[in-house]
A and B are shown apart, each in its own frame.
Chain A
Amino acid sequence: MADSICRTLRDGGLEGEHAPALTIKDRISSPLGLDVFNHVLAQLSSFILAGKSQSRGLVLVALTRSPSFYLELLKSGGVQLNSAQKWIHILDCYSDPLGWKDNPSRHEKANTATDENPGTVALFRDVKDANKLFCSVSELGKDQVSSIFWLLHSDLHEAKIAAVFDYISSMIASLEPMIHPSNGERLSSENRSLRNENLSRGNFSVRFKRRNGRVRQMCEEISVEQSGIKFTPVSSDGQAIGGGPLPKVQFNLELSEKEQMDRASVVLPFEHQGNGKPIQIYDGRRSLADTRTNTVHVPTEASEAADPRKGEIIYLRDSDDERPDSDEDPDDDLDI
């Protein structure tokens, strides 16, 4: 499923459509967003290098990690960076985002340091001005945008802003913790181990907005190890996710297997006395001491031979009655 995300970004948008846009959302209880972002970045870079994607270049806006981190990441992922200048441009908003380093000599030093690395790295020093930021991005890109993706920490933004990002993106990938930590803040040993679990594993769910106007939701488990990131399909637990938009109706027409078996094994009131003994129905004519002779005949039960002179109660279950319904109306013989 993560592959399908990368493939969608790789294929880009059709003529007249908006470019596919991916939002990766994580939160403090499941902080794996950066790993997912890096994974998508590495995949997309390899697609671009192999020439398989609609886009021919990549513009990376580095906000929380330095450009060298990303270049190292790509190198370790097997991406050749020799001709990197042609296809990757990094907008460095990490080294000096607010323009605090006014000293020109230091500024030059920063530039020379990055010259060793391949790829154009442009320093950007005015992150507060969003207009300028986007202008720089589009300058570096030089062409039309084929696809775009970003990482958002949903705890840091108002719900409204996160909703805006959901509105403009065509794929929304969110990371949820596998085990929800308890609400209390107490650092019990259980909580700590749970939280540590959440630092390396989580639930990765993606909502795709399809062209037919429907939404496709997919879920996977994600685990981050030393070797890298791994996505495994989630085992279905039988819970219906899509019950949301529909009203619930509280009837059930069909019985499940278990329910059918239970139903077959129910003993009807006429057939048991409640204490394991065979059925004894008091018909009012004999004393209770003579109950042995009044045992009811039940076809399914092995019973003693009844005295033909005494009364019997023959009980047939409706389900055992094999005769088909006759056409007679049983009310016909009523004479009112």
Chain B
Amino acid sequence: MAATKTRVSSFSRNVPATLAPQIPGVKTGPNGTAFVSSGIPDLDRIVGGGFPLGSLVMVMEDPEAPHHMLLLRNFMSQGLVHNQPLLYASTANDPKGFLGTLPSPVTSRADKLSHDDEPVEEKGLRIAWQYKKYFGGSQQILNSQGAMENKHEYGNDFDVRKPLQRQFITGQKVECISLQDCPDLSALRDRCATFLAQFPRKDGSISSVGRIAIQSFCVPECSYFNREWHMLSFIKALRSMIRSSNAVTVVTFLPSVLSPSFSKRWQHMTDMLFSVLAIPDEDKDLAELLTGYQDMVGLLNIHKVARINTQVPVILEATTFSLKLRKRKYLALESLNQAPVDGSSGTSYSTSGSCSSTTSSKPGSLDF
């Protein structure tokens, strides 16, 4: 036990400094957790480092928009770039085809630095309702110049217009499963178990890290669609397997095609919960309300952030973010820059912004 390590709070676990991992792509965090990047640097920053090893991440899809694919693709690409084995399951007949759509990481420095453009100077006085977002800009520039090497190793930006180089995909690192071949989920569970056996978690250093990505787990095309208890027990088994291994799983599912009670059960089962929302097109009201509406692809809501080994909850400043493609290439998350609206016609909200939002598709949390 390192005697000089300062305790952050009385609930934090003391981790000796020698436990720092040697492998790229893994970062240690407080309380003995280790993180891997989600593939989206903005998301890593928002949730406090990345996805913790041993956690189950779920993304609730919107039936009207395919934005969950953006998150999934970045997650998978990040793992492949860091040489982390990947298990991918989807309902397509040939899941390998999806690997061709994975984005490739950005390597040049120039591209990265030009992200942090100065906000356009406007004439006249602007009242900044959300002033904190203007602070972040200068700090980011400093960070990226100083700690460039670290950033490049841990979390990359991905260019969605360039496909991932073949060298990352070929090789023994990627396994694909088609969910249509699994009439019974036990076959899928066995595959996951054998995959996860490669990354057992023992006290000591982390030798290798794996990622599992399951796309659209409960869609009607699957033969197990009507067997909701089956699907739930699969998720439970997966979660327990994940906990005892050095891996992260991302599962996307569609809550509207499940019964409401099962949808809730799934949401409770997971460690991290996001939902993506489609935005209306050519909506003049929304264009007035939000700056940057034209570039927005969709909305991302963060409902739950994984807290492993700690009792301290994380309270996010904002839980709704807009998904944008900067320069049409890089996926970025931005907090909403919203103009105030006449509140006399709306209902009064009594809950304050927190992670525990209510139902799947319509968040009810405030966002100041």
Q: Do residues A167 and B220 form an inter-chain contact, with CB atoms below 8 A?
A: yes
**Interchain CA distance A121-B338 in the complex, whole Å:** 58
Q: Which residues of A contact B121 (CB under 8 A)?
A: none
A213 and B290 in contact (CB under 8 A), knowing A242-B283, A244-B362? no
Asked if B237 lies at the interface with its beta carbon under 8 angstroms from chain A, I say no
Asked if B343 lies at the interface with its beta carbon under 8 angstroms from chain A, I say yes
Q: Which residues of B contact A166 (CB under 8 A)?
A: 63-64, 256
Q: Do residues B64 and A209 form an inter-chain contact, with CB atoms below 8 A?
A: yes
A248 and B349 in contact (CB under 8 A), knowing A160-B258, A242-B286? yes
> A interface, by DSSP: helix, strand, loop or mixed?
loop
> How far apart are A207's CB and chain B's nearest CB, in angstroms?
7
Asked if A163 lies at the interface with its beta carbon under 8 angstroms from chain B, I say yes
Q: Do residues B256 and A163 form an inter-chain contact, with CB atoms below 8 A?
A: yes
A249 and B341 in contact (CB under 8 A), knowing A160-B257, A164-B220, A167-B219? yes
Asked if A252 lies at the interface with its beta carbon under 8 angstroms from chain B, I say yes
Residues of B32-76 at the interface with A, using a CB-CB cut-off of 8 Å, are 63-67
Asked if B105 lies at the interface with its beta carbon under 8 angstroms from chain A, I say no
Asked if B188 lies at the interface with its beta carbon under 8 angstroms from chain A, I say no
Q: Which residues of B contact A253 (CB under 8 A)?
A: 127, 339-340
**Interchain CA distance A246-B66 in the complex, whole Å:** 19
Q: Which residues of A contact B279 (CB under 8 A)?
A: 214-215, 242, 245
Residues of B199-250 at the interface with A, using a CB-CB cut-off of 8 Å, are 219-220
Asked if A168 lies at the interface with its beta carbon under 8 angstroms from chain B, I say yes
- Across chains A and B, the number of contacting residue pairs, with CB separation under 8 Å, is 113
Interface-centre pick from A160, A207, A209, A251 (highest chain B CB count, 10 A): A160
Asked if B114 lies at the interface with its beta carbon under 8 angstroms from chain A, I say no
> How far apart are B355's CB and chain A's nearest CB, in angstroms?
14
Q: Do residues B320 and A247 form an inter-chain contact, with CB atoms below 8 A?
A: yes
A252 and B220 in contact (CB under 8 A), knowing A209-B65, A216-B282? no
Q: Do residues B280 and A246 form an inter-chain contact, with CB atoms below 8 A?
A: no
Interface string of B320-333 (1 = CB under 8 A from A): 10000000000000
Asked if B277 lies at the interface with its beta carbon under 8 angstroms from chain A, I say yes
Asked if B285 lies at the interface with its beta carbon under 8 angstroms from chain A, I say yes
Q: Do residues B289 and A215 form an inter-chain contact, with CB atoms below 8 A?
A: no
Q: Which residues of B contact A164 (CB under 8 A)?
A: 220, 257
- Which listed residue (B219, B280, B344) contacts A242, Cβ 8 A? B280
> How far apart are A58's CB and chain B's nearest CB, in angstroms?
26
Q: Which residues of A contact B281 (CB under 8 A)?
A: 208, 210, 212, 214-216
Asked if A227 lies at the interface with its beta carbon under 8 angstroms from chain B, I say no
**Interchain CA distance A243-B342 in the complex, whole Å:** 12
Asked if B176 lies at the interface with its beta carbon under 8 angstroms from chain A, I say no
Interface string of A229-270 (1 = CB under 8 A from B): 000000000001111111111111100000000000000000
**Interchain CA distance A168-B344 in the complex, whole Å:** 38
Closest to B336 in A: A246
Asked if A217 lies at the interface with its beta carbon under 8 angstroms from chain B, I say yes
> How far apart are B343's CB and chain A's nearest CB, in angstroms?
3
Q: Which residues of A contact B283 (CB under 8 A)?
A: 217, 241-242
**Interchain CA distance A212-B363 in the complex, whole Å:** 23
> How far apart are B312's CB and chain A's nearest CB, in angstroms?
25
Q: Do residues A167 and B257 form an inter-chain contact, with CB atoms below 8 A?
A: yes
- Which listed residue (B63, B299, B341, B342) contacts A163, Cβ 8 A? B63
> How far apart are A166's CB and chain B's nearest CB, in angstroms?
6
**Interchain CA distance A189-B66 in the complex, whole Å:** 48
A215 and B290 in contact (CB under 8 A), knowing A160-B259, A247-B366? no
Q: Which residues of B contact A167 (CB under 8 A)?
A: 63, 219-220, 254, 256-257
Closest to B226 in A: A160
Q: Do residues A246 and B342 form an inter-chain contact, with CB atoms below 8 A?
A: no
Residues of A146-193 at the interface with B, using a CB-CB cut-off of 8 Å, are 160, 163-164, 166-168
Asked if B267 lies at the interface with its beta carbon under 8 angstroms from chain A, I say no
Interface string of B355-368 (1 = CB under 8 A from A): 00000001101111
A213 and B67 in contact (CB under 8 A), knowing A167-B254, A246-B290, A251-B340? yes
**Interchain CA distance A166-B286 in the complex, whole Å:** 24
Q: Do residues A246 and B338 form an inter-chain contact, with CB atoms below 8 A?
A: yes
- Which listed residue (B64, B220, B289, B347) contacts A246, Cβ 8 A? B289
**Interchain CA distance A248-B350 in the complex, whole Å:** 12
Q: Which residues of A contact B297 (CB under 8 A)?
A: 212-214
Closest to A162 in B: B256
Q: Can you list 15 A-B contacts with CB-CB less than 8 angstroms, sorted by A residue number?
A: A160-B258, A167-B220, A213-B66, A214-B279, A215-B278, A240-B285, A241-B280, A242-B286, A243-B285, A243-B341, A243-B346, A245-B299, A249-B338, A250-B340, A253-B127
Beyond the given pairs A241-B280, A247-B367, 4 more chain A to chain B contacts, judged by CB atoms under 8 angstroms and listed by A's residue number, are A214-B65, A246-B289, A247-B363, A250-B343
